[in-house]
Chain A
Amino acid sequence: MIRWVSAGAALAAAAVFASAALGADVSLRGAGWSASRVGPESEATATAALWLRERLALTPSLDLGGEAYVVARAPGQRGDHATFELREAYAAYFGEHFDLTVGRQLIVWGRADRIKPTDLASSRDFTSLVTEDDDQKRGVGAVKLGVPVGDVVLMAYAMPEFRAHAVAPLPPLPGLSVRRASPHGAVADHAVRLERTGGRIDWSLTYFGGHDKMPMLSATPVSLAQGVIEERFPKLRMFGGDIAASVGDYGLRAELAHVVFDDLAACAAPVCGGRTSVVVGVDRQFPDDLYVNLQAVLAAGGTERAPPSLLPELFVRNGVLSNRLTASEGGLSWSVIRQWNNQTFRAEFSGVSVFGRSGTLMQARLAYKLTDDIRLTLGGDLYRGKRAGVLGARRDESGVFLEIRHGY
């Protein structure tokens, strides 16, 4: 308890220093969670977090930016621990003929709502206890060059830093440990993007060549003899595009990505090979601050494989994490947001339901602004579906939370 109070005091002191001395935006967040996301034996916990964000304009054409957070988790059955994350730390130059951003940065692609098949550049921490999914995103060390060419911007990315998605650890397997087989050190991930945002229609085309951020675990007779399960991040290429436009009172959004693995042998999931994912949706802003978004989600392609004789549960786990369980699947996503009292009170109900065995996720958030600086949020996530499904596999993560937040 003393250590917990000490951690809180340290966070508060750091917040005061960051705000007063550095002029940074500060966010202090305290929350209670009915279930954590760190493993199958999920337990209730509490978190205290300090987020700092700053964007400093050194000159009219040069910015320094960054964001970091530290989260302390209350003592529990799995012990207590603190997590530090440097989400961004970059320098950005805005020139007449080009823009250049160097350093760790969040790279976000895709115009669909929440489900973005082209968004492969930045990784996520799926184990982090955050109330907004976007806060799971983590920056990647990169150089981004943007060159306006008429109405479009041509962007080139070099991403030497590899950061894998953080996922719940594999349940212990007696006598076996997990070892990363690849990649090690700097990588040559890269992308080219042509984007137009403006006029009547927004669109983009993206090529990404790099590593999958989602781990694939495999066991071979050789590795098992060494007591090791190998963790790989296969190289892939993605060709994608998106579009957004307004038609009358409606907004139309669509996004498509085709992903192929460079080395099919590195794929250890029930479905491998080229796979195309499509999201097509419509949204509308209704009177009285009501927003509704509906999307169809489709994924198809690849060839189904029989499970291996060695540790077939790894094979299924890979399929769950990479959404490669069946050769084709379809579903719907929705988002309904309503605000009241001049945006003092906000309610959001959203989710995705994938037909077949993949399952359903429903999320609800109720947020009330006590003041300009203090916000209270009550929320919950409900996963449903078969254990061997992408969403059903996360049923133990279903739960509710209550967060009080000061700052952004």
Chain B
Amino acid sequence: MSGASLFRRAFLRVAAAGVITAAYGRGFALAGDAVADLMTANYLATRVRSSQGLAAFKLVPPAGTERIRRVRSLSLLEANGVDSRRLTWFEGPPDVKGMGTLTVENAAGDDDIWVYLPAVRQTRRVQAANKGEAFLGTDFSYGDILGYRVAEWTHREIGRETVDGRETIIIESVAASPEIAARARHQRRAQWIEPASGIGYKVETFDSQGRKLKTFVMSDVRRVQDDPPRFQAMKAVAHNLVTNHRTEIVFDDFQAGLALSPDDFSVRALERGPR
């Protein structure tokens, strides 16, 4: 990419953020383009160039014993600034310890996913799950973690609210087609987005009958990369209102800006385990 092109992209991004912030400050409802820009900012807000993290997934059933999955991960953003390569290893509990996944996102099609199964000492290609499928057995779906493509949803502003001391714009997103709704496993969602960062602090999803399916609350959001600014919620809680099951993801450690290369995201690396 040429220097002029890079400058143009950076200028447009800054300009778009400025328009959104200015409109918000004046109390205007965002126009269509501005809403799309805000959703694009939201889509990109957590896409750091590279990262490593250590997180605990706490699964809380309505009754019974909590379960905790400990996960170590690496990520690297592709040159297109949208797709990532991700390595994830389970460090516990015992029945999944050593298991790992390699995901190569592909915005233009299905992701490529491989799973390393220590019980059989083998790596297996698995089908890219629908965006609506549960992410590693949690109440988050793959779409909730990786984001939904902006162009596949129709967005509009439906209000403004303060969440956890932050001024947010509430954006309603409706699936552009029944197929997209079916894959996402929800018809509509509302997101409380902070304009300056693009971070969604709260999300609610609904089915086609308007029934609320899940709520998500993000907290302890930290700026983990400066140029361009990127953020990470250190805690995220999903509540499935249908099953009354909850999942809490808490990062014990998260670092961005590591010197990683595509070669670090191979099946060979997956099978070696975290170094």
Contact = CB atoms under 8 A, between A and B. Distances in A.
A198 B267 contact: yes
B54 interface: no
Contacts of B124: 111, 244
Given A250-B127, A287-B185, A342-B245, A408 B94 contact: yes
B202 to A, nearest CB: 22
Interface string A169-198: 000000000000000000000000000011
B234 interface: no
Contacts of A134: 119-120
Interface residues of B, number: 42
Interface in A96-133: 99, 106-108, 111, 132
Contact of A408 (B97, B120, B122, B185): B97
Contacts, number: 101
B138 A283 contact: no
B120 A108 contact: yes
Contacts of A408: 94-95, 97, 119
Interface in A263-315: 283-285, 287, 289
Interface in B87-146: 92-95, 97-98, 110, 112, 114, 119-130, 132-134, 137-139
B112 A200 contact: yes
A: interface residue count bin: 35 or more
Interface stretch (A352-360, A369-377, A388-396): A369-377
A148 interface: yes
Contacts of B110: 246, 248
Interface string A26-64: 110000000000000000000000000001010010010
B96 to A, nearest CB: 8
Interface stretch (B60-68, B192-200, B215-223): B60-68
Contacts of A375: 95
Contacts of A197: 114, 123, 125, 267
Contacts of A135: 119
B268 interface: yes
B59 interface: yes
A277 B98 CA distance: 32
B138 A55 contact: no
Nearest to B102: A198
B61 A57 contact: no
B121 A343 contact: no
A372 B67 contact: yes
A248 to B, nearest CB: 8
B243 interface: yes
A60 B275 contact: yes
A289 B134 contact: yes
Interface in B11-28: none
Contacts of B272: 63, 94
A198 B68 contact: no
B266 interface: yes
A283 B115 CA distance: 15
A339 B138 CA distance: 12
B273 interface: yes
B134 A342 contact: yes
Contacts of A202: 125
A342 B137 contact: yes
Nearest to B60: A342
B121 A108 contact: yes
Given A250-B127, A287-B130, A55 B122 contact: no
A132 B266 contact: no
A60 to B, nearest CB: 5
Contacts of A63: 272
B59 to A, nearest CB: 5
Nearest to B67: A372
A341 B245 CA distance: 8
Interface string A385-407: 00000000000000000000001
Contacts of A371: 65, 67
Given A99-B268, A246-B112, A341-B245, A372 B127 contact: no
A287 B94 contact: no
A342 B127 contact: no
Interface string B247-258: 100000000000
A223 interface: no
A375 to B, nearest CB: 7
Contacts of B68: 372
Given A134-B120, A289-B134, A344-B61, A373 B125 contact: no
B219 to A, nearest CB: 22
Interface pairs A-B: 10 shortest CB-CB: A372-B93, A343-B137, A408-B94, A197-B267, A407-B94, A285-B127, A106-B121, A134-B120, A244-B125, A108-B122
12 contacts: A106-B121, A153-B268, A197-B125, A245-B125, A249-B127, A251-B125, A251-B127, A342-B59, A342-B61, A372-B95, A375-B95, A408-B94
Given A342-B245, A372-B68, 6 more contacts: A57-B275, A197-B267, A244-B125, A251-B125, A251-B126, A371-B65
Interface of B: 59, 61, 65, 67-68, 92-95, 97-98, 110, 112, 114, 119-130, 132-134, 137-139, 185, 243, 245, 247, 266-268, 272-273, 275
Interface of A: 25-27, 55, 57, 60, 63, 94, 99, 106-108, 111, 132, 134-135, 137, 146, 148, 153, 197-200, 202, 244-246, 248-251, 283-285, 287, 289, 339, 341-344, 369-373, 375, 407-408
